[in-house]
Amino acid sequence: MKIIRKVQEMIDFSETNHQQDKLIGFVPTMGFLHQGHLSLMKLIRDQVDVLIISIYVNPKQFGPQEDFKKYPRDEQRDINLVKPLVDVVFIPESDDIYPPRYDTFVQVEELSKPLCGKSRPGHFGGVTTVVARLFGIVKPDIAVFGQKDYQQSLIIKRMVEDLNLGVKIQVGPIIREPDGLALSSRNIYLDEQQRKRAQEINQGLALGEKLMKQGETDIDQIISAMTELISGHDLNIEYLEILDSSNLQEVSSMTEQVIIAAAVLVDNIRLIDNRLVDVDRKLEE
């Protein structure tokens, strides 16, 4: 496994491999890796000749009151975790990703407005800007993102299509702890009691899915039932919505597939989760 820290070295490495007709896979991360990240690497490993991951905590996607400085970091731990899986770990410095004269911002407009876009203005512009930058450096053929950040994955797909970037985007499923909590680097912030309460986020989403598959079509009723379950455990709901999974637009009646998406504060720790629901697939009798 090779560690690359300089942008030009990464560009040269990818160019050499493309000249040898090698297929490059890419998993961009902010580090402090967990089994969810590793599942994305495993998903793509057999599809490519060269697997590259990046570890970079991108300041442009954090708001002024968010946890950029406190975001968990452990470079050596991450390197040790991925050694059996990847060929290159790209760990750039900020002044190499955004040099002094850097003056470009990439924004996907409509998909960035709902859900996290309401409460985190500028966040997705920071995400698309850094991902576009990383795609230009790594030049992957395939890149993988996680379903837990579902809105992000749709935005990246739209950016790639609109800009003809030529990168195939795959989305890996949410990986959960045994108690149902979606894996997240921010889970490390939770103490024992907070973690127990946080389990109710997934329970609330599961209730929504169950009601839909039992034939409930009143979206307000479904959201009300989920809200009662989640907020009943001293959790503050930032958003809890049922949207069309293809475009994140509100639905007045059930479409073929919807997404139940939630952002919930466990005290001051913000967690997101979601469930894709194929409405026409009823529960087994």
233 noted as active-site residue? no
Note down pLDDT in tens along the chain; length 285 residues.
Answer: 999 999 999 999 999 999 999 999 999 999 999 999 999 999 999 999 999 999 999 999 999 888 899 899 999 999 999 999 999 999 999 999 999 999 999 999 999 999 999 999 999 999 999 999 999 999 999 999 999 999 999 999 999 999 999 999 999 999 999 999 999 999 999 999 999 999 999 999 999 999 999 999 999 999 999 999 999 989 999 999 999 999 999 998 777 899 999 999 999 999 999 999 998 766 554
Q: Are residues 106 and 162 in the same domain?
A: yes
Predicted confidence at residue 224, as pLDDT, reads 98
Alpha carbon distance 272, 184 (integer Å): 9
The answer to whether residues 193 and 166 belong to one domain is no
Domain end point (choices 146, 172, 198): 172
* Residue-number span of the structural domain to which 103 is assigned: 2-172
Same domain (yes/no): 168, 202:
no
- What's the pLDDT at 282? 64
Write the CATH number for 245.
3.30.1300.10
In 3-state terms, what secondary structure has residue 218?
Answer: coil
Q: Of 118, 144, 172, at which residue does a domain stop?
A: 172
Helix axes 7-19, 123-138, angle to 10 degrees: 50
User: In total, how many domains does the chain have?
Assistant: 2
pTM for the full predicted model: 0.95
pLDDT value at position 94? 97
The CB-side HSE value for 258 (13 A sphere, CA atoms) comes to 24
285 domain-assigned: no
Residues 54, 27: one domain?
yes
Catalytic residue among 18, 34, 37, 233: 37
Instruction: From 145, 172, 199, give the residue that closes a domain.
Output: 172
Q: Distance between CA 236 and CA 243 in Å, rounded?
A: 20
Q: DSSP characters for 42-85?
A: HHHHTT-SEEEEEE---GGGS-TTS-TTTS---HHHHHHHHTTT
At residue 285, the pLDDT reads 41
| Same-domain check for residues 240 and 193 | yes
Phi, then psi, of 270 in degrees rounded to 5: -95, 125
